[in-house]
A and B are shown apart, each in its own frame.
Chain A
C-alpha cells in the first residue's frame, strides 16, 4: 500500500470522528477503525486529535439557540479563504443581462431563461425578478394576491411593498410569502428547495404537508425545504456568503472550497459544455474563486494550471485529467 500523506490521514480521521459522532460503532466499523489505527504510527495521534476536537466542540451548545454567525465575524477579516485563481476566469466580462418590462397585471404569463442566460423581469407592481440560468416562472397577479410559481431553476425576488397584496412564490410544495423583501428561491431537480433571504422577513409554508408549520426566515438566513418531508429551519449566512450565493446575477459563479466534482456539476447548470473529471482524487480537490458562469472551458483551464492537471477540449465537453 502506498504511504498515506498526513493530509489523507487527517481526512480519514475526520471521517471516523464523524462516524463516531453519529452513534456507537457497529462491530464491523469498530474493527475497521482499529485496523486503520494500526496501519500507520501517525493514525492514532491524528484520530485522537480529531476525536478530541469533535468532543471539545460540544461546548458550542453554550452559544445558545440564538447563535448568530454574523455577530462572530471579526470586522475586516476576510471570511473566505484566499482565492486560488482570479484574473483570467473573469476576462470574458459580464454576460449581457436583458431587461423586460411589464404592465400592472399578469395572468398566467411565463418567463424562461436558456442555459447560461440571466434575465431581469420588471413586474408592474414595482417588484423585480432576476431569473438565473435555465429557469422558468409563471406570474399570476390579482387584486388580492401576487402569485408566482417557480417551475424550475432559481430566481431572486425583489418585492415591492404592498400590504394589501401578499407576494407568494410557490416552488413545488413550498410556499414563500413576503410583503416587501428580497430573497431567492432555488428549485432544482433532485435537490431540496432552498430559500435565501437577503432583506426583510419571509414566511415559508408547505400547504400540502399535513401539520406543516410556518417558518419565519429573516435577513441573512438560508432555509432548506423538501417535498414530502417536514419543514426545515433556517441557518444564518454572513454577508460575504450571501454575495457569493448571488454571484450568478452578474453571470458569475463563485466557489469557496467546493470539490471540483461539485463545481463541475454547478457549471452544468449554466452551460451545455460538460466538464468531465475522470480522476477521483482530482475530483475531490477543493476549488475557490470567482468564475464566468458561461465559460466552463476557461474554468477548466484555470483549474488545470492550478492543480497541475490537463484540460482537453473536445466536442461538447472539456475533460480534466492528471
Chain B
C-alpha cells in the first residue's frame, strides 16, 4: 500500500514535473517496441513517491532519469524484449540528464507567468471555475454558489483543469486529448531488435 503525502506530491510537481518533457523525449528516442511511455512515466512517479526520502537527491533530473531507466529495464526483463540500443544507453542517459535544464533556473516570476498563460489557455468554463478557486481563493462550494452551478460540476471543471494543465506542463501542451500510444509502434530495425523466447 502506497501512501501519497501532499508534501512529496508538491515536491514532485516542483522538481520532477519540469523535467518530464525532457524525460519523455529521451524515452521516445529509445525506440522501444511495445512499451508505453505514459506507463513508464507514471510508474517512475510511483517510485519517486515511494522513496523513503528525497533529501539526499542532489540532481533531481538525473535521479528521475535513472529511476525511469530502472522502470524501463524491469519492463524489458519482464517482457523479454531485448533492445540493443538500450544496452548502450547508459552513457546517453548521463549526457541527457546532466545538462542543467533551463526549467530549473526558472525564476518564480517566470513560473507565475507560465501558470498565468496555462490558465488563460483553459476552456472558458473551466477557466471561470479555476480562476475563482485558485486566483480569488474561493472554496469549491463558494465557486458553485457564485456561478449558480452544482458543486459536483465545479469539481468536474477543476478535474478537467488539472488534467489539461498536466498536458501543458508534462507534455508541452499536446497530447491531452490523445490516448496513450505504444512507443514507436513500427519496429525500427536500425535501432532495436526483438528477441522472442
Contacts and interface: CB of A to CB of B under 8 A. Distances in A.
Nearest to B140: A22
A144 interface: no
A25 to B, nearest CB: 12
A88 interface: no
Interface in B107-155: 111-113, 115-117, 119-121, 123-124, 127-128, 130-137, 139-141, 145-149, 151, 154-155
Given A6-B36, A65-B136, A41 B43 contact: yes
A307 to B, nearest CB: 11
Interface string B24-45: 0000000000001011011111
A6 B128 CA distance: 28
B46 interface: yes
B90 interface: no
Contact of A232 (B36, B133, B147): B147
B47 interface: yes
A67 B115 CA distance: 12
Contact of B180 (A5, A49, A57): A5
Interface string A106-120: 000000000000000
B150 to A, nearest CB: 11
A241 to B, nearest CB: 6
A226 B162 contact: no
Nearest to B152: A22
A60 B162 CA distance: 13
Contacts of B176: 81, 257
A93 B4 CA distance: 54
A22 to B, nearest CB: 4
Contacts of B44: 45
Interface string B151-186: 100111011101111100110001011111000000
B4 A44 contact: yes
Nearest to A235: B128
A48 B128 CA distance: 25
B45 A60 contact: no
Given A14-B163, A67-B131, A257-B177, A52 B155 contact: no
Nearest to A221: B128
B166 A58 contact: no
A57 B120 contact: no
A257 B12 CA distance: 28
A281 B38 CA distance: 20
A61 B116 contact: no
Interface of A: 5-7, 9-11, 14-15, 17-19, 21-23, 34, 37-38, 41-65, 67, 69-70, 72-74, 79, 81, 192, 222, 224-226, 229-230, 232-233, 235, 237-238, 241, 245, 256-258, 286, 288
27 contacts: A6-B41, A6-B42, A7-B179, A11-B159, A18-B156, A19-B155, A21-B155, A23-B141, A41-B43, A43-B46, A44-B2, A45-B46, A47-B9, A48-B49, A53-B165, A55-B9, A55-B10, A63-B119, A67-B131, A69-B120, A72-B116, A225-B148, A229-B145, A232-B147, A235-B131, A256-B123, A257-B164
Given A50-B163, A67-B119, 12 more contacts: A6-B38, A10-B42, A22-B140, A22-B158, A37-B2, A51-B6, A52-B11, A73-B117, A235-B128, A238-B120, A257-B176, A257-B177
Interface of B: 1-2, 4, 6, 8-14, 16-17, 36, 38-39, 41-50, 111-113, 115-117, 119-121, 123-124, 127-128, 130-137, 139-141, 145-149, 151, 154-156, 158-160, 162-166, 169-170, 174, 176-180
Listed from nearest, the 6 A-B pairs whose CB atoms lie closest are A45-B45, A52-B13, A6-B38, A226-B148, A45-B46, A69-B120
